Amino acid sequence: MAGGQGVLLALLAVLTLQGVGAVKVGNVLIQADFYQRDERLQQEGGQFMFDFDGDELFHVDLQKTETVWRLPEFGNFATFEAQRALQNMAVLKQNLAVTMKRSNRSQATTVPPEATVFSEDPVELGDPNVLICYVDKFWPSVISIRWLKNGQQVTDGVLETIFYRGQDFTFRKFSYLPFIPTRGDYYDCRVEHEGLSTALLKHWEPQVPLPASESTETLVCALGLAVGIVGIIVGTILIIKAMKMNSARNQRDPL
């Protein structure tokens, strides 16, 4: 307990140094850890994370057995022994096995995910940017998130966050794709989850205005075309009127 309080005090100090300001009453440091098993997909996994007011402070990479700080500066003020997370996972795994043995092992209601794709910064052609796929409100936390560029899967530079738990016990997750906006390119975030009958595909393509030079050329062309059409119409009208006048004159003054 003393170690946990030390971590809390150190992290609060860091948050204050980072410009968050005075800590309000009600702010809470929460340890979020879970282990789950999906027999239908033959997959299992867990997570160990500390968050402060809903923002991640650090999590433990259970495969690499190391603490990963959300901001590297946090690690300068506090430490956390990753082995403690592995011990928690072992206890949770054992408890789950006991609970499954003693219960009817009925499956909880599956909740399909929702997904949104947006860019980190305003899009400008040629300027490096990051696409974000935000997948929300799904259960269980067994999910696949993939990026497609012009219909082809891309993996270079792709990063994913850990799972975040909502108050309704569903999960949310972010996936990031660095990219350089280019006219004509399009992207899709493909989400697969057992709650979906087919993969969820969220489409995105850069919406950028034409450069000033192209806009000017387009406007000039459009104006030229409009003037040409008006000239044709006016010319046609004048020709018809002239023909009618000649016809009327010939009728009045026959040879």
- Report the CATH number that the domain containing residue 50 is assigned in CATH: 3.10.320.10
**Would 121 be classed as within a structural domain?**
yes
Burial 242-251 (b: 16+ CB within 10 A, else e): eeeeeeeeee
Tell me: do 85 and 171 sit in the same domain.
Answer: no
Q: Report the CATH number that the domain containing residue 146 is assigned in CATH.
A: 2.60.40.10
- Mean pLDDT, residues 137-160 taken together: 93
Tell me: do 98 and 120 sit in the same domain.
Answer: no
Tell me: do 98 and 119 sit in the same domain.
Answer: no
Q: Which of 56, 80, 102 is the last residue of a domain?
A: 102
Helix (H, G, I), strand (E, B) or coil at 39: coil
Specify the DSSP element, H or E, that contains 133. Answer: strand 129-138
Tell me: do 129 and 98 sit in the same domain.
Answer: no
pLDDT at 115: 97
Tell me: do 61 and 127 sit in the same domain.
Answer: no
**Would 247 be classed as within a structural domain?**
no
Residue range(s) defining the domain that contains residue 163:
114-204
Tell me: do 118 and 91 sit in the same domain.
Answer: no
**Would 227 be classed as within a structural domain?**
no
Tell me: do 144 and 53 sit in the same domain.
Answer: no
Burial 22-54 (b: 16+ CB within 10 A, else e): eeeeeeeeeeebbbbbeeeeeeebbbbbbbbee
**Would 24 be classed as within a structural domain?**
yes
Amino acid at 63: Q
| Integer angstrom CA distances of residue 220 from 6, 113, 217, 226, 245 | 69, 48, 5, 10, 37
**Would 224 be classed as within a structural domain?**
no
- Residue with token string 């980190």: 120
- Mean pLDDT, residues 152-172 taken together: 88
Tell me: do 134 and 86 sit in the same domain.
Answer: no
Q: Which of 102, 136, 152 is the last residue of a domain?
A: 102
Chain segment 198-239, per-residue pLDDT in tens: 999 999 998 866 555 555 666 667 777 877 787 788 778 878
Tell me: do 85 and 124 sit in the same domain.
Answer: no
Tell me: do 94 and 149 sit in the same domain.
Answer: no
pLDDT at 20: 36
**Would 51 be classed as within a structural domain?**
yes
Chain segment 143-152, per-residue pLDDT in tens: 999 999 999 9
Tell me: do 189 and 119 sit in the same domain.
Answer: yes
**Would 250 be classed as within a structural domain?**
no
Q: Which of 102, 126, 145 is the last residue of a domain?
A: 102
pLDDT at 154: 96
Chain segment 62-119, per-residue pLDDT in tens: 778 888 887 877 878 778 888 888 888 888 888 878 877 777 766 678 899 999 999 9
- Residue with token string 């140094």: 17
Report whether pLDDT(255) > 80: no
The residue that leads in pLDDT, 13 or 236, is 236
Residue 21 banded pLDDT, cuts 50, 70, 90: very low
pLDDT at 253: 63
**Would 54 be classed as within a structural domain?**
yes
Tell me: do 15 and 98 sit in the same domain.
Answer: yes
Q: What is the overall mean pLDDT for the chain? A: 78
- The count of domains in the chain is 2
